[in-house]
Chain A
Amino acid sequence: MKKLLSNRNLRSQILTYGFVIAAFVVLQLVAAGGGMSSSLKGMLVPICAYVVMAISLNLTVGVLGELSLGHAGFMSVGAFMGVTAAISLQNAVPAPGLRLLIALLVGAVFAAVVGFLVGIPVLRLKGDYLAIVTLAFGQIIKSIFNNLYIGLDARGFHVSLLQDRTNLEQGGRLILGGPMGISGIQKISTFLAGVILILVCLFVIFNYVNSRTGRAVMALRDNRIAAESIGISATRHKMTAFVLSAAMAGAAGALFALNYSTVVANKFDFNTSILVLVFVVLGGLGNMFGSILAATALTILPEVLREFQDYRMLIYAVVLILVMLGTNNAKLKSLFEKLRPRRREEQS
């Protein structure tokens, strides 16, 4: 039974990787053939960013079992820091691919550091309290970026809060202008980079979940007291998962922001956090493949519904309710099970 289980895990992993790669190849072929609409072409990179957001939050919510309502905060940190890095290196690193890689890493590192700092108080809490504190964290990050000024000139970086006191020299550039956000970003994100980021994140998550730490984290999720009684340190293990999740969200943020010419802090508000949480819940807690599908479908859906004009958001909501009801319906579930005979054999 145990062997079978690990086999099934492996199979679902291969299926997930395979799906991402196959989707990439098919979309590239369609694009090369000229059959892709501008609308879909424009959504490829944001979809990748949302997929990474969804699978990284799934690590916190599905694997770690803690409800986080401030995931967009990490995305925001990654977005602003990644873009700042990309702009600063505009002349030093002319190759856009390399610059994008550095920006993603910078975004991930900063988000991980913030994740660590936030994790210290947050992971001592449980359940509802934890959810509320992460919610507050998301708001705080938004406020900070709305009041943060970062400038760059010959003397280096200048940072100030609340008011622009950067006093830049001639030829300096105010990168982040408080509520103005960042303007004039060179768009260097590509679909290929997005797909590679998804694959790297999937690789990290699958290996993490199947590692010693991952099993410890799941033991903590299922029964904290029992796990602690056999010597598993709750704070340490939770922290690794939380920081990992934050780092991936940071990279997603950098990828997202570098796809537009402008970015503002208000984009990463509570609504965005909830949107990502919806991807996770819809795709299934702990189910990475489901998160990928849900994030993709729910990003495309509002655009497909454009032809319904004023009813667009209403239909979006109704579809969401339907899918939630449908995926939780016992009869439908058993129907899906019947459609998958191989899986039934394994269970028997």
Chain B
Amino acid sequence: MKKFSKTLALALALVLCVGLLAACGETGTQGGQQTQTPETPDDEGAAAVVIKIGGTGPLTGGAAIYGNAVKNAAEIAVEEINALDGIHFELKFEDDQHDAEKAVNAYNTLKDWGMQISLGSVTSKPCEATSAETYADRIFALTPSASSTAVIELDATADPITYKDNQFQMCFTDPNQGSASAQYIFDKGLASKVAVIWKNDDVYSQGIYNTFVTRAAELGLEVVSDTTFNDDNAADFSVQIADAQSKGAELVFLPMYYEPAALIFNQAKAAGYAPAWFGVDGMDGILTLEGFDTALAEGVYLLTPFNADSTDARTVAFVEKYQARYGDIPNQFAADAYDCVYAYYQACTAAGVTADMSAEAVCEAMIEQFTTMSYDGLTGDGMTWDVTGAVTKSPKGMVIQNGAYVGLD
């Protein structure tokens, strides 16, 4: 009997596997490849220019929300561009599970596919690893959201610091966000006593924290409470909240992603503590978090370059399209990705890039374009890039009112 059930189990597993493979084979051929090829490339004959764009990001795992937002928005942008005349794009997005090793594997897969320009990686550490590869292989990369400075730096120990010449960012660097937040709090007179809760095993959080504290000290903002958490104890914040409360902080600065922030709001309410809250771009997305009571986030300030409630015509159109297709409001990552693809469109058109150009030739043309052009997008007008690859644009202050982001300025 035992033998029989074992054989049965084996047979069932086999059937399941074969079934899966069959199902996947189908989706694989029906555009499951995550590529957006122009529907009628033959109409334009041999003159049709199709540039291959590749990118990696976490489509599965804990950080999947960012990777999927980027992928979805990039797909929308590519589809819109392919409906126009002129340059067309083909997009392929690979999963890196927010891991440097997998990101390099994913990047190599894209290279085999024939990627000509890259969207880098979505998250910082993986992007640091892939940017070393794109730099060595001379493939131009513009990352929507990897905000660590190590992404664009070539040698941080050199004096002055040298930068990778073909790595560009669409988002602010982390240090930039930290000092901008301190400046904003000071300029608007939001508080004089500030608490900071940050995640000490996260590059993003620490990068913002470091410059925030430095800038706050320069401006005379008093950081009364400074507490940390990490991956393994990101469930209970009672100690951190009690510390901020007992030291009389009027504002709590939260340089982190929104999942822990949601828990902090909840636990602070339970503790009867109601300071002003201030977040950065990682806070964006909290209102769409499943099971989160948006009333808890009422009055939260955040500094982010993108506002989904903007009345700007392009933003409205993008948000509508995104919502119709994917069911939720696009966050800042999505907007950055959308901008990346359109920035590529503008640069490729201006440089007259053709489909048969090698990645290296495209790279040289893109470096020239990006360091000289100015781009208007969803996340800011008149964006420019300097030779280091960092973007110049102005962040927008937002506050959450009645479950929606409202611009402060």
Residues of A within 8 A of B (CB): 37-39, 41-43, 46, 139, 143, 146-147, 171, 173, 178-181, 183-184, 187, 260-267, 302-303, 306-315, 318-319, 321-322, 325-326, 329-331
Contacts and interface: CB of A to CB of B under 8 A. Distances in A.
Given A262-B129, A263-B100, A264-B100, A178 B105 contact: no
Contacts of A306: 94-95, 106, 109
Counting contact residues on chain B (CB < 8 A from A), the size range is: 35 or more
A260 B105 CA distance: 11
Interface string B3-40: 10011011001101100110110011000111000000
A48 to B, nearest CB: 13
A184 B20 contact: no
A184 B156 contact: yes
Given A303-B105, A308-B28, A38 B111 contact: yes
Contact of A309 (B32, B102, B112, B125): B32
Contacts of A329: 6-7, 10
Contacts of B125: 181, 262, 264
Interface stretch (B74-82, B179-187, B199-207, B319-327): B199-207
Contact of A326 (B10, B112, B205): B10
Contacts of B156: 173, 183-184
Nearest to A311: B24
A315 B21 contact: yes
A302 B109 CA distance: 12
Given A37-B112, A307-B28, A312 B95 contact: yes
A315 B27 CA distance: 14
A179 B199 CA distance: 9
Interface in B140-157: 148, 150, 153-157
Given A183-B156, A264-B100, A266-B201, 20 more contacts: A38-B111, A42-B105, A43-B108, A173-B156, A173-B157, A179-B200, A180-B148, A181-B203, A184-B150, A184-B153, A184-B155, A187-B132, A264-B125, A267-B101, A309-B33, A309-B34, A314-B20, A318-B17, A325-B9, A329-B7
29 contacts: A42-B107, A43-B105, A139-B232, A146-B201, A173-B156, A178-B200, A179-B199, A179-B200, A179-B206, A180-B207, A183-B153, A183-B156, A184-B153, A184-B156, A187-B132, A261-B128, A262-B125, A262-B128, A265-B201, A267-B101, A307-B28, A307-B33, A309-B27, A309-B33, A310-B32, A315-B24, A319-B17, A322-B13, A325-B13
Nearest to B28: A307
A313 B232 contact: no
B159 A171 contact: yes
B104 interface: yes
Contacts of B7: 329, 331
Nearest to A185: B132
Nearest to A325: B10
A145 to B, nearest CB: 9
Given A173-B157, A262-B100, A308-B28, A180 B206 contact: yes
Interface in B194-224: 199-203, 205-207
A279 B372 CA distance: 52
Nearest to B159: A171
A309 B393 CA distance: 35
Of A39, A179, A307, A321, which is in contact with the most chain B CB atoms at under 10 Å from its CB? A179
B271 to A, nearest CB: 25
Contact of B20 (A147, A315, A331): A315
B17 A322 contact: yes
Contact of A318 (B16, B108, B112): B16
Given A42-B105, A315-B21, A260 B203 contact: no
Contacts of A263: 100
A180 B108 contact: no
B349 interface: no
Contact of B203 (A41, A180, A267, A325): A180
Nearest to B131: A261
Contacts of A146: 200-201, 230
Nearest to A331: B7
Interface string B221-236: 0000000001110000
B99 interface: yes
A263 B60 CA distance: 21
A331 B9 CA distance: 14
Of B16, B128, B131, B231, which is in contact with the most chain A CB atoms at under 10 Å from its CB? B128
Contacts of B20: 311, 314-315, 318
A178 B148 CA distance: 15
A314 B21 CA distance: 11
Nearest to B210: A164
A147 B230 CA distance: 10
B97 to A, nearest CB: 9
Contacts of B94: 306
Interface string B149-174: 01001111101000000000000000
Contacts of B155: 184
A80 B23 CA distance: 43
Contacts of A321: 13
A183 B28 contact: no
Contact of B24 (A37, A41, A309): A309
B3 A330 contact: yes
B231 A309 contact: no
A38 B112 contact: yes
Contacts of A302: 102
Interface string B63-80: 000000000000000000
Contacts of A265: 201
B17 A260 contact: no
Nearest to A90: B157
B52 to A, nearest CB: 14
Contacts of A183: 128, 150, 153, 156
B96 to A, nearest CB: 11
A272 to B, nearest CB: 10
Contacts of B105: 39, 42-43, 303
Contacts of A38: 108-109, 111-112
B177 to A, nearest CB: 16
